[in-house]
C-alpha cells in the first residue's frame, strides 16, 4: 500500500476552479472533440511545444518551430532545433505512456533529451540546486533518494482519489520538487501533467496550456517558490488550475477548431492574402486595420501559420525584414469553399 501523500490543503478557490474547469471541458468535449481535425491538433501541438521550450529559453519562434516540423531548413541553433524535434516526437508518443510507469517516464525523458544530455533517460547521479539568476531558490533532494521518491509519486498518481485536475497539478509540483533529471525537468513535468489530464478527458491532450504558462512565466516560478516556502503544493495547484481555466477560455473564444470553421480573425487574414501574391506583416496589418502587432501575431498570423493556411516566402529567415507571407494551397482551398 502506498503511504505517500503529498502535502496539500484543499481550498474553496481550488474547488471552485475544478467545478468551472470541469464545466468548460464538458462543453469543449461535446462541441469540439469530434471536430479536432489533424490540422488543428498539429497546430495546437506546435503551440504547446514552442511555448514549453520557450519557458526553458529556447528562442525559436512559432514560425520557426512550424518550419522545423515541416522539414524546412531553419537558421537557428542546432540544439534548439533538436529540442523541437525531440519534443514533437515525445508528445506524439504520449498516448503510449502509462502515467504510473517509471519505465515510460524514463523512456519519455530519453526521447525528449536525445542528443542533448549524456544521461538522457536516466535519473541524475549528482546533487542539483535551482537558481533564478544568482539566487538559490530550491535545493532538490539528494540523488540517492530520487528513484524512491519518483516511484512513490508515480504510485500515488496511479491510485489517488483526488480529482484528476488537482492530482495532475500536485504531480507537476512534486515532480519539480524532486527534480529527478540533470536537465529537462520542467518539460517533463508539463508533459506528464498533460498525460494525466488526457487520461481523464482525451480532449485535454490538445489543450496548449503551456502558452498560458509562457505568458505568466514569472508567476509560474513564483508559485513554485511559494509552494516550496510553505512546504505544500497548494499555491502552485491554484496557479495551475487558473492557467488551465485560461487556456480553456482561450480555446472556447475561437471557432477555429475545424478546417471549415476558422476564427473570424484567421478568415479575415486569408481573404486579405487571397487578393495579393504576398504581403509583409505591416502591409497585412494595414489591410486588416490592426495597429497592435502582438494582437496581430497572436490572433491572426500565428494561428494561420500553425494550421498551415499561410506560409512564409523566406522560411529560412523567419525574422528577416524582407519576410512576406502568402496563402498556402490549403488556405486557398478554404477561401474557395467559403466563397461557395
Give the annotated binding-site residues for ATP.
Answer: 183-190, 220-221
- Given a contact cutoff of 8 angstroms between Cβ atoms, the answer to whether 48 and 208 are in contact is yes
By residue count, the chain amounts to: 340
- Given a contact cutoff of 8 angstroms between Cβ atoms, the answer to whether 120 and 109 are in contact is yes
Q: What is the largest CA-CA distance in the chain?
A: 66
- In this structure, what C-alpha cell is assigned to residue 295? 494582437
Question: For the residues 123-134, what does the mean pLDDT come to?
Answer: 78
Residue 242 pLDDT: 94
Residue 260 pLDDT: 44
Residue 263 pLDDT: 73
- Given a contact cutoff of 8 angstroms between Cβ atoms, the answer to whether 169 and 197 are in contact is no
Percent of the chain with pLDDT over 70: 90
| pLDDT classification of 152: cutoffs 50, 70, 90 | very high
Residue 325 pLDDT: 93
| pLDDT classification of 276: cutoffs 50, 70, 90 | confident
Q: How many helices (H) and strands (E) does the chain have?
A: 16, 4
Residue 93: closest CA among 71, 110, 76:
110
Q: What kind and span of H or E run contains 20?
A: helix 12-32
In this predicted structure, the answer to whether residue 206 has a pLDDT above a threshold of 50 is: yes
Q: Which residues are catalytic?
A: 179
Residue 59 pLDDT: 93
- How many Å apart are CA 198 and CA 269, to the nearest integer? 32
In this predicted structure, the answer to whether residue 43 has a pLDDT above a threshold of 90 is: no
Average pLDDT, the chain: 87
Question: For the residues 191-210, what does the mean pLDDT come to?
Answer: 93
Question: For the residues 11-15, what does the mean pLDDT come to?
Answer: 93
Over the stretch 156-171, which tens digit does the pLDDT of each residue have? Answer: 999 999 999 999 999 9
Residue 14 CB partners (closer than 8 Å, separation 6+): 166, 234, 237, 238, 241
Pairing of strands 135-139, 129-132: antiparallel
Question: For the residues 251-263, what does the mean pLDDT come to?
Answer: 53
- Given a contact cutoff of 8 angstroms between Cβ atoms, the answer to whether 194 and 217 are in contact is no
In this predicted structure, the answer to whether residue 181 has a pLDDT above a threshold of 90 is: yes
Residue 259 pLDDT: 40
Residue 30 CB partners (closer than 8 Å, separation 6+): none
Question: Which of 37-51, 106-120, 320-334 shows the highest mean pLDDT?
Answer: 106-120
Q: Which domains, and CATH codes, for the chain?
A: 12-252 (1.10.3290.10), 264-339 (1.10.10.10)
In this predicted structure, the answer to whether residue 87 has a pLDDT above a threshold of 80 is: yes
Q: What kind and span of H or E run contains 295?
A: helix 293-296
Residue 140 pLDDT: 79
Burial of 178 from C-beta contacts in 10 A (0-12 / 13-18 / 19+) = buried
Question: Which of 4-13, 192-201, 289-298 shows the highest mean pLDDT?
Answer: 192-201
In this predicted structure, the answer to whether residue 327 has a pLDDT above a threshold of 70 is: yes
Amino acid at each position: 500500500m502506498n503511504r505517500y501523500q503529498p502535502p496539500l490543503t484543499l481550498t474553496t478557490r481550488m474547488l471552485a476552479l475544478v467545478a468551472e474547469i470541469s464545466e468548460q471541458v464538458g462543453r469543449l468535449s461535446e462541441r469540439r472533440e469530434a471536430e479536432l481535425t489533424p490540422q488543428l491538433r498539429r497546430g495546437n501541438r506546435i503551440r504547446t511545444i514552442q511555448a514549453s521550450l520557450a519557458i526553458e529559453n529556447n528562442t525559436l519562434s512559432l514560425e520557426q518551430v512550424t518550419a522545423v516540423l515541416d522539414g524546412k531548413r531553419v537558421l537557428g541553433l542546432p540544439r534548439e532545433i533538436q529540442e523541437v524535434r525531440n519534443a514533437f516526437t515525445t508528445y506524439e508518443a504520449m498516448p503510449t505512456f502509462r502515467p504510473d510507469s517509471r519505465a515510460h517516464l524514463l523512456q519519455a525523458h530519453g526521447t525528449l533529451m536525445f542528443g542533448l544530455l549524456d544521461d538522457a533517460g536516466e535519473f541524475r547521479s549528482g546533487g542539483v540546486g535551482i537558481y533564478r539568476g544568482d539566487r538559490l531558490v530550491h535545493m532538490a533532494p539528494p540523488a540517492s533518494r530520487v528513484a524512491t521518491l519518483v516511484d512513490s509519486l508515480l504510485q500515488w498518481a496511479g491510485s489517488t482519489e483526488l480529482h484528476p485536475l488537482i492530482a495532475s497539478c500536485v504531480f507537476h509540483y512534486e515532480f519539480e520538487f524532486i527534480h529527478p533529471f540533470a536537465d529537462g525537468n520542467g518539460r517533463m513535468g508539463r508533459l506528464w501533467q498533460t498525460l494525466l489530464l488526457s487520461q481523464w478527458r482525451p480532449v485535454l491532450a490538445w489543450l496548449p496550456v503551456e502558452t498560458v504558462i509562457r505568458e505568466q512565466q514569472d508567476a509560474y516560478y513564483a508559485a513554485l517558490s511559494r509552494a516550496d516556502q510553505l512546504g505544500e503544493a497548494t499555491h502552485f495547484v491554484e496557479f495551475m488550475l487558473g492557467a488551465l481555466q485560461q487556456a480553456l477560455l482561450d480555446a472556447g473564444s475561437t471557432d477555429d477548431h475545424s478546417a471549415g470553421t476558422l476564427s473570424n480573425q484567421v478568415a479575415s487574414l486569408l481573404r486579405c492574402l487571397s487578393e495579393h501574391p504576398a504581403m509583409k506583416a505591416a502591409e497585412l496589418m494595414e489591410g486588416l486595420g490592426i495597429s497592435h502587432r502582438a494582437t496581430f501575431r497572436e490572433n491572426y498570423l500565428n494561428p494561420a501559420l500553425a494550421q498551415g493556411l499561410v506560409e512564409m516566402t523566406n522560411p529560412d529567415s523567419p525574422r528577416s525584414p524582407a519576410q512576406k507571407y502568402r496563402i498556402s494551397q490549403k488556405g486557398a482551398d478554404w477561401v474557395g469553399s467559403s466563397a461557395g
